Structures are given as structure tokens and as C-alpha cells.
Structure 1
Amino acid sequence: MSASNARTASNPLTVLRVVWRLLFVILLGMSGVLLWRAFDTTSQPGSPDRLPVHQTVPDFRLLAHSGQAFGRIWVANFVFTRCPGVCPLLSSRMAQLQTRLEETDQPSIRLVSFSVDPEWDTPQRLSGYADRYSADASRWVFLTGELSVVQPLVRDGFQLAMMNAPPEGSHTSHGQPKRLEQIVHSDRFVLVDPEFRIRAYYRGDETAVVERVMRDIEILRHEYPPVR
């Protein structure tokens, strides 16, 4: 058999190997997508008329700058008043959400901002911060409290990142704040239903986050009709 004939005879095997390699790459890619979806913490759609149910937020006691309780459906985020990074953007997004809720006449929906720097963020400081974003105290509540309560609540209750544990000897004392780089927190917004079940996560820095939250609130309102 000539070399030319040998190459021709081997072509079907070569083609088969190429096909199998392509199938392997495709399957590997599909597996990667499935794993990404499984571990992605942003909102994932359920059925068109129902949101998925994540974990339940445990009961907690914290101080509100306004003293107001929050309503049946609520949206949470995590900020601190001295934050030089993403917090101004997150609070601006929450202010936009407040406006949209007012425009669509949804008084039963509450907004809740948790301070991740509670040793510095007193109710008085949070009140001043709220004024910067024209927060309506009857709708948008800012919460603070003991770090020993806030940090487990964020990490274990909301399943989100938070780090506010400075090295030994560098803790807040005599009213002096920690260094800002010692405070790390999530940029997520969280949609919570009346049973304290988390129904969706959102990236707070996304341009479309307000519309996404509004869409999902409308879905939840069908599960939990508003009480006027």
C-alpha cells in the first residue's frame, strides 16, 4: 500500500478523533455553565410567576435610625457611612429604587440598609447619611447594632461576605474609627419575602439592578398581596 493510500485509509479515524474531541469540549463547556449557575449568588429565575426560595434570614434585633419597622416585602443592602468605595453607588441605587416604588404606589415595600461598620455608625450618623440620599424614614430604614450581631447576620443569615475584624490591638477605642481597609463587605442587594426567606440576590453595581428588583417585587406581590 502506498503512503498516499495509507493516509487516505487513516482519514476516517482522524475525523472520528476530531469529532470526539469537539464533543468533549462541548460537554466540558456545558458542565462549566451548570457549575457556574449552581454557585452564582445573583438572582436566578424560577418560573415566570414564582421566584426561587433561598435560605431564611434568622430573627435579629438591631437599632434603626428612624425607629420604624419594615414591611412585608423588603430589599436589603450593606453599606457604611465612611465608605469611600462602592457604598455611594449602592446607596444611589437604593435611592432610585425608593423613587420607583413611590412612582408605582407601593407603600408596603421597605428598604433596609445594614451598616457593616456598626461600631462607628451610630443611629445619629446613619440619620445624617440617610439625609444625603433623601431617604424617606417611613420606607427606607438604616440599621446598626453590635458587631457581634451584625457580622454573623450578614455572613450566616444572608450568606454574604463581610470582614470587620482588625488585627489585635487595632480595634476602635475612644471613638477612633478603624482603618477603612479593615472593612470589607458585599455589594449585593437581597430581596426578602414576609417569611424572611431570601428570594433573589442582585449585584448592586449593575445599571439595570433597579428594574430587575422592581420586576421581582411585582412577582412577589402576587404571592403576598399588599396590605394597605
Structure 2
Amino acid sequence: MRRRALFYISAGLLFLLLSGCSWLYQAGQPQSPQNGSDLTGADMELSSFEFTNQDEEVVTNEDLEGNYVLADMIFTTCPTVCNTMTPNMLSLQQDMKAEGMDNVNIVSFTVDPENDDPEALTAYGEKYGVDFDNWDFLTGYSDEDIKKLSKESFKSVVDKNTGDNNITHATGFFLIDPDGNVIRKYDGLENDTKPILEDLKRVTGN
């Protein structure tokens, strides 16, 4: 019995070590289901900020008000989860465009602002074929700034002290309403984005 218990404990620890950046980074909270977690009762809102996008234009939280915003966190040299998250977000962007959902913008915050300047973010977006018309990749801040925004806005951890090339960050897509409230969270690692699209249509009234 003792050997079996030790086996399961060891297996669990091995799983956490191997999962790296793909593990959910919100301690004590379950992974969001495919069709979204309702955060309306969590009293979460997007913090004030003044950052720079891939075109070296200043973008503030006030610029995002009036439309719904789908936000996530990435970095251009991410060796793991971002390679799934960004294509999934792109799929949503393309599907939303096909559905005429012009009241939803996309924002990706880099968690590696020291290396991800506007040029690097432009190259990253172009690599995946994103449409920059309604998708801002943001930088122009310090590590402490993005740690604070992630914690205050999304209740998520950003941590570079992983011992490898990964950076701990949220793997969810967060929906922000026109008033700046964070109201939904979706699994950014779920390749089947159709349920997310349907939920977005329902919530945003499209």
C-alpha cells in the first residue's frame, strides 16, 4: 500500500515537472472548460495601462473601452504553449471575422517585454498570419508591470524563474466587456475553438 501511494505521489510530481509552461498557472483554480468560465462574480477588471503595440503606437486600457476584448499572454520565443495558443486565437479571429463580429478586439500581452520589442512582435504575428487590424501585441513595459497587471487583472502569475527557457504565464483567453470588466475565461490550449466562438457570440450579442 505504501509503495503504491509513493508511486502515485512520484507520478504526480513528475507530471507537474514535465508539463512546464502548459500547466495552469492559477493556484487553487480549476482549468476553465471549453465553453468558458463565468467570471462575472469575481469582481475582476482590466488594470489601467499605457503600453506600445507592434506598430509602435500607444495603446491604453481606455482605448479598448466600448468594445469587447479577448486577451491573452504570450512571448515570441515561447517553446511550448504559445505555439498552441496563438494559432487558436488566430482561428477565433478568422471565425469572428466570418461571422461579422466587429465588436471584439484581440490583445496579446508579452510576458517577455525585455526581448519582445515591436519589431519582434510584428515578426511573430506575421509568422502566424494574424490580421493586425483588430489584434494588438503589446510591449513597452517592465517585467514588474506585466506581473502586476496579470495578477490584478487576471489573477494569474507571471514568473521567469523557471530554470529553463519557459516563462510561467496564464494559458487562458480572457473576455473583457466594453466597461473593462473581465467576465469570461476560455481554455487557450483547446484546439476546437468552435464552442468558444459560440459562447462569444452569445455573450457579445452577435
Find 1:192's aligned residue among 166, 170, 176: 176
Query: What is the alpha-carbon root mean square deviation over aligned residues?
Result: 2.3
1:185 and 1:127 map into 2 onto residues whose CA distance is 21
* Matched position secondary structure for 2:113: coil
Find 1:56's aligned residue among 35, 45, 63: 45
Which residue number corresponds to residue 98 of structure 2? 103
| Alignment of structure 1 residues 1-228 onto 2, 5 Å | 39-40=29-30, 42=32, 43-44=36-37, 52-54=40-42, 55-66=44-55, 67=57, 69-70=63-64, 72-144=67-139, 145-164=141-160, 180-181=165-166, 183-208=167-192, 210-222=193-205
Residue identity in the other structure for 1:40: P
2:196 and 2:41 map into 1 onto residues whose CA distance is 15
1:153-203 alpha-carbon deviations (Å, 9 max, x no partner) = 012221112102589xxxxxxxxxxx514x211211111111111111112
2:147 and 2:188 map into 1 onto residues whose CA distance is 20
Residue identity in the other structure for 1:161: V
> Shift of residue 40 of structure 1?
2.8
Structure 1 contact 65–142 (Cα < 8 Å) conserved: yes
Unpaired runs of 5+ residues, structure 2, are: 1-27
* Matched position secondary structure for 1:119: coil
Q: Which has the higher contact order (CA 8 A, sep 6+)?
A: 2
> Shift of residue 211 of structure 1?
2.0
Structure 1 contact 72–108 (Cα < 8 Å) conserved: yes
Residue identity in the other structure for 1:60: F
1:90-117 alpha-carbon deviations (Å, 9 max, x no partner) = 1100110111011111122111111011
* Matched position secondary structure for 1:62: strand
4+ residue stretches of structure 1 with deviation over 4 A?
Answer: 68-71
Which residue number corresponds to residue 32 of structure 1? none
1:76-134 alpha-carbon deviations (Å, 9 max, x no partner) = 11110011111111110011011101111112211111101111100110011010111
1:39-58 alpha-carbon deviations (Å, 9 max, x no partner) = 4352335xxxxx73431121
1:121 and 1:100 map into 2 onto residues whose CA distance is 27
**Higher gyration radius (CA):** 1
* Matched position secondary structure for 2:156: coil
